[in-house]
Amino acid sequence: MQETNMSDIIDRVESKRTEKLRKVLLLCGIGMLVISALQIFVLNHESKGVGWSLDRLVLIGGGVASLTAYRKLTSNTGQFIEWKSDSIIYKLKGNSDPLTIEKASIREIIFNINTIEIKEQNGNISKLDISDFTDYATRAKIRDNFGRIPIQSAQTAK
């Protein structure tokens, strides 16, 4: 495990969008299951027809779907981009662990609306999905930080 030197960090941006969505899904899922349980056990009506059963089924199904989505979003939590003096460390959508790109190996940076494409000297292409960074100031900061990186020419000196 690599030790992080805080003085080496130039800048860092984080996205808490997924964490907020997970909280909402958890609360909705638990709420639907609790309401369904209360209706089944406490509000015991004599007329338990098809309509009554379908109402309970919709609540239970919605609760289970919310809790399933909550679990699936676990890998998207803790998204960040961190610029260090010699590298960029990031964990974004689709990455379960933080990844590192050495600044010296960067050949080209292409900015798109929701992605940043980084081409390295060794042919690797990294696509950073920044769609969860919705704040304009944060996106401007990301673009500015990537714009400051000196690009290494693929050609060697003659």
pLDDT tens-digit series, residues 31-69: 999 988 888 787 766 667 788 788 888 989 999 999 999
Residues 140 and 84 in one domain: yes
DSSP character string of 57-126: HHHHHHHHHHHHHHHHGGGG-SEEEEEESSEEEEE-TT-SS-EEEEGGGEEEEEE-SSEEEEEETTS-EE
Number of domains forming the structure of the chain = 2
From 45, 75, 105, the end of a domain falls on 75
Task: Judge whether 154 lies within some domain.
Answer: no
Query: Does pTM surpass 0.85?
Result: no
pLDDT, position 157: 36
Residues in the chain: 158
Residues 99 and 126 in one domain: yes
| Containing structural domain, residue 45 | 16-75
Task: Judge whether 56 lies within some domain.
Answer: yes
pLDDT in tens, 80-137: 999 998 999 999 887 778 999 999 899 999 999 999 999 999 989 999 999 989 889 9
- For position 96, which CATH number holds? 2.30.29.30
Residues 26 and 67 in one domain: yes
